[in-house]
Amino acid sequence: AQSVTQLDSQVPVFEEAPVELRCNYSSSVSVYLFWYVQYPNQGLQLLLKYLSGSTLVKGINGFEAEFNKSQTSFHLRKPSVHISDTAEYFCAVKENTGFQKLVFGTGTRLLVSP
């Protein structure tokens, strides 16, 4: 079964600084990878996804992530964060064989301060 690890529970950063949120996964088969964002008291929105093809994936709000198969990682990056990026970010993995459930990591809270 697949699993996801987000080692950082919280990442504080100053406005306009770059940020990287780490995600590692485990699976015995090929996977699809996702990053979702959750603003306070709301549901989740898809930021970006990797299904196949180019390993560098660009998403909404200036975020991007790179799929690294050898390191089983899918880290999320943004070159310059805004206050409005303060939210909880979830990495998720899904095996690409039939109907498989989406498995979420424990989340990383990004705190952007002025």
Question: Which residues contact other proteins by CB under 8 A?
Answer: 6, 9, 32, 34, 36, 41-46, 49, 51, 90, 94, 98-99, 101-102, 104-107
| Cβ proximity to other proteins, 16 vs 101, nearer residue | 101
Structure-block tokens of residue 10: 């919280």
Minimum distance from residue 78 beta carbon to other proteins (Å): 21
Give the closest residue to 18 by CA, choosing from 81, 82, 83, 112.
81
Minimum distance from residue 72 beta carbon to other proteins (Å): 18
| Buried/exposed code over 48-87 (b: 16+ C-beta within 10 A; e: otherwise) | bbbeeeeeebebeeebbbebeeeebbbbbebeebeeebbb
| Cβ proximity to other proteins, 19 vs 90, nearer residue | 90
- Rounded Cα distance between 48 and 74, Å, is 11
| Cβ proximity to other proteins, 43 vs 114, nearer residue | 43
| Cβ proximity to other proteins, 67 vs 90, nearer residue | 90
